[in-house]
Structure formats: structure tokens, C-alpha cells
Amino acid sequence: MTDISSDPAPTTRKSKSRRRPVAPRMLGRDEAAEFCGVGGVSTWDRHTAAGLNPAPVRLGGAVLWSRAELAEWCRRGCPPRTEWAPIWRELLARRAK
């Protein structure tokens, strides 16, 4: 008969990922693609290169997107970056007042 209480605790694997923690309210490529409902990271990268989504921010070598900006961008119909950038600047200016 085996005593269940003597079974060793399950071991947890340490993550081998070298990723640095992401700044709060910021999303990496894979999270941004998922958040916006884009099929995958490669599609997100193509959209970024073509200027079809908001411009990323670079922080310490990481390429990130603002969760708030992506949410607003989606609410407004996902316009291309050339149309979106002035809209976002205006929204930020209004919030600063």
C-alpha cells in the first residue's frame, strides 16, 4: 500500500526562455498579433513592414506595442499607419489637457 502523502511534490521546470519581462501595458510581437486577431507573427511582421498597423516602440532593444493604442486602433477600424498616426497624436494631446 502506498502512502499518497509521502509522494514527492511535482517538480516544476525552469523556463529556458531568455526573454526579458515586458513593460506593463506593452505587448511583444506575438501578443500584439493575438490581441489584434492577426493570424500569426509573420503576418504581423508583414503588416508592420508595410505600415498597416501602429508603429512599434523600442525599449531596451525590445520591439513593443502599446496595448491601449492597439485597442483604440482596432476600435477605429484598423486604419493604415499614415492615417492612424495623426489620429493617435490628437487623442494623446486631448488626454494631456
Gyration radius of the chain's alpha carbons: 20
| The predicted structure's pLDDT at residue 2 | 44
Q: With beta carbons less than 8 A apart as the criterion, state whether 37 and 47 touch.
A: no
User: Is residue 4 situated within a structural domain?
Assistant: no
pTM: 0.74
| The predicted structure's pLDDT at residue 97 | 82
| The predicted structure's pLDDT at residue 68 | 95
Q: Provide the CATH number for the domain around residue 81.
A: 1.10.10
Helix (H, G, I), strand (E, B) or coil at 16: coil
User: Is residue 56 situated within a structural domain?
Assistant: yes
The number of domains in the chain is 1
Domain that holds residue 39: 25-96
| The predicted structure's pLDDT at residue 20 | 57
Q: What is the mean pLDDT of each run of 10 residues along the chain (97 residues)?
A: 46 52 81 94 96 94 95 97 97 91
Q: With beta carbons less than 8 A apart as the criterion, state whether 54 and 91 touch.
A: no
